[in-house]
Homo-oligomer: A and B are copies of this chain.
Amino acid sequence: MTPVTNRQLYLHQRPVGVPTADDIRLRTVDVPSLADGEVLIENHYLSLDPAIRDWMSGNDTYMAPIAIGESIRSTTLGKVLESRHPDFVAGDYVQGLAVNAWEEYTVNSGEVLTKVVNDGKYPPRYYLSIFSGAMGLTPYFGMLELGRPVAGETVLISAAAGAVGSIAGQIAKIKGCRVVGLTGSNDKASWLINELGFDAVINYKDCDNLAEEIASVCPERVNIFFDNVGGEILDAALLNIADHARIVFCGAISSYNASGPVPGPYNYWQILAHSATVKGLLTTNYVDQFDAANAEIRGWLESGKLRFNEDIVDGIENTVDAYARLFSGMNKGKLLVRLAAADQQ
């Protein structure tokens, strides 16, 4: 039966700092009827990604900002309920890349909608975690295309227990590197070392001088810094880069909640002093390699070389609180919200 109402999170006002329930509010709207070429999706899982915070800010960077009153744009995983698009039929599981929203039902024009090839081996929600752009492909291309790891090199990862960092580090391990993670709790540090195989982890909340701590853990300096955080952590890393280092600029979560202009790294000069390279990462540059990348990631999963964690929160009404955990460093792995419809299969 076609649903008639849709609970939806929308941008009520632009957040100052970490978004709250004042900024992002829940409302109930009608489910529109489908036009030709459109697909009605019942969302099962919402993806909670740091980049969405940037779209809330009104800055026009690589994606248009979310307008006031608009639903919160997101990648979601769901099931097709109705289709007037030739490529999709009811019952298909689909992933809508950064064009769906934090809502129960989405009408999608089919343009950036991917059918989930579900061979029964993995739950469809893996297409929102390990097989997604944000968790699997971002570290894959960031590490391999921009980092270009060479066996024996030292690789440093910020936000190492996050969705991207935890995979980036393991890919560097697969390539024979020594991998050091930066994270904010001893629990996550143990997980990275004991379960994911990191060589060392620094709890940055637990040390007086991060640059000195990195120097002591990375005596041969850092060949690749995979940066999700920016700010003081980037500055500490820059003081420890090796000659010809590659800095993979994947994100800058430390600045996403800033209300004024945020300076770049104070140690920017080190880039020149060490003939280093800073490379901005946008996964969408590699669309034509997505299938091959996902095949390789599957292979690593199946051979046990790659592990991951999904940090799942239940209920659309808990989305905003869950989202705040990304910025306090409390999530371990990929943060997802499971909607009620996911349980009814």
Contacts and interface: CB of A to CB of B under 8 A. Distances in A.
Interface of A: 61-62, 230, 249-252, 255, 261-282, 285
A61 B269 contact: yes
Contact of A280 (B61, B230, B276, B280): B276
A278 B278 contact: yes
A260 to B, nearest CB: 10
Nearest to A61: B273
20 contacts: A61-B270, A62-B272, A62-B274, A230-B268, A252-B268, A252-B269, A252-B272, A255-B269, A263-B263, A264-B268, A265-B268, A271-B279, A271-B280, A272-B280, A272-B281, A273-B280, A275-B282, A275-B285, A277-B277, A277-B279
Q: How many copies does the complex hold?
A: 2
Contact of A278 (B251, B277, B285): B277
A278 B271 contact: yes
Nearest to A281: B272
Contacts of A269: 61, 252, 255
Contacts of A270: 61
Given A249-B272, A276-B280, 12 more contacts: A61-B270, A62-B273, A252-B272, A255-B269, A264-B268, A271-B280, A273-B280, A275-B280, A275-B281, A275-B282, A275-B285, A277-B278
Given A277-B278, A278-B277, A280-B277, A261 B271 contact: no
A268 B261 CA distance: 11
A248 to B, nearest CB: 10
A262 B251 contact: no
A53 B199 CA distance: 40
Contacts of A274: 62, 280
Contacts of A261: 266
A62 B271 CA distance: 11
Nearest to A244: B285
A202 to B, nearest CB: 23
A12 to B, nearest CB: 25
Contacts of A277: 277-280
Nearest to A261: B266
Name the residue among A249, A268, A277 with the largest chain B CB count within 10 angstroms: A268
Nearest to A265: B264
A273 B280 CA distance: 7
A144 to B, nearest CB: 15
A199 B163 CA distance: 47
Nearest to A235: B264
